[in-house]
Structure 1
């Protein structure tokens, strides 16, 4: 599997061996807190614009906590800007068998009728994920790591489930930086395992910058 913007393998491997463990976790947590605080301050005007746009566009909560599984299978509320209509569950109940099959295969729909106009824009630009900066401050999530999943997705990881839940989930990760919504679920699992096996401070920095580049180029939504 292609590495991110390949550096000298020997240098990176030596660095990984030295930082693996406590030092890496300390550096990772420092990066999480520092960047999330700076991002919340700098992006506060965008937060306000999004709040107003969602309120004007459709009825319902502006921000909601989506229940997902984090490290050690602990249930966490992952904060997101609302991108669906208020009666999304009612609409889902009326989905055709083909639509439900597509959803349960990849846990997303290419043309989801539940998504609002503002929500569609937020998803394509990944701006709906911004409230998760507060999850990062709380320690529920990290800037980089496998995305937190719902209970129904656990079977997708099969024998790799325990390894998946051994790390803190992230706002972005290896598959988001390298494939985003164009990635199949099977490829996503493989990329998550690759990240867990090779995680390093250098890799985290590279993933953050590559994710930003992918978002700016609009290379698929997370």
Structure 2
């Protein structure tokens, strides 16, 4: 039922957002250039890697040595707008269409984090990752990582279509209010600060 629900929502979203996405593509091409879509490998269900799609929000500006400048210096006003309104997430609809993601589920973080999860935290990968999730509507960037992981595991244990609908409505409300939104992409931040990186 969850997959059927996702496919139904995909059809609706493609109809609604085709024109806005075309304008966003034009804006990215104008203000940031190519590529328009940012692809990054993320862990899916059971940790299997997949290519997640987002609209590009940063330039490729580099220093004199050829190194990329810090994110804060490459994030344009247009890119910041896309992030704050969550419009940069729209291409993930096609990840849902491909069966790599769901509309609702734990947010997919980076591949290099897989070895750092505790056994309980790793349970967040028992389901498909989502465009939005229980953690996103219960604090998003305003809660710490331990709380996010606890909320992700709670979702795994309590997943239902009714809960997904509740999360989707709360997501729309929070996006409209810009509640719990940070300009910096927390998904690229290291969530295991109390552990040594490999």
> Which TM-score applies when normalising by structure 1?
0.75
Q: CA deviation at 1:148?
A: 1.0
CA distance in 2, matches of 1:144, 1:156: 23
Partner of 2:46: 72
Q: In 2 relative to 1, CA 113–220 (structure 1 residues): closer, same or farther, beyond 3 Å?
A: farther
Partner of 2:168: 208
Q: How does 1:156-167 map to 2 (within 5 A)?
A: 157-167=117-127
Q: CA deviation at 1:157?
A: 2.9
CA distance in 2, matches of 1:90, 1:186: 33
Partner of 2:34: 60
CA contact (8 A) 2:43 2:108 kept: yes
- State the SS of the aligned residue for 1:193: helix
1:81 has 2:41 as partner: no
Q: CA deviation at 1:90?
A: 2.5
Q: In 2 relative to 1, CA 31–60 (structure 1 residues): closer, same or farther, beyond 3 Å?
A: same
- State the SS of the aligned residue for 2:68: helix
- Report the structure, 1 or 2, having the larger helix content: 1
CA distance in 2, matches of 1:187, 1:91: 32
Q: CA deviation at 1:209?
A: 0.5
CA distance in 2, matches of 1:156, 1:192: 16
- State the SS of the aligned residue for 1:165: helix
Partner of 1:181: 141
Q: How does 1:1-80 map to 2 (within 5 A)?
A: 27-80=1-54
Larger Rg: 1
Partner of 1:113: 73
> How many residue pairs get matched?
179
CA contact (8 A) 1:174 1:195 kept: yes
CA distance in 2, matches of 1:45, 1:30: 24
CA contact (8 A) 1:71 1:167 kept: yes
**Higher RCO structure (Cα 8 Å, ≥6 apart):** 1
* Structure 1 residues 110-130: Cα deviation after superposition (integer angstroms, max 9, x where no partner): xx2231221100000100000
Q: 2:67 aligns with which of 82, 90, 94?
A: 90
CA contact (8 A) 1:83 1:116 kept: yes
- State the SS of the aligned residue for 2:127: coil
Q: CA deviation at 1:160?
A: 2.3
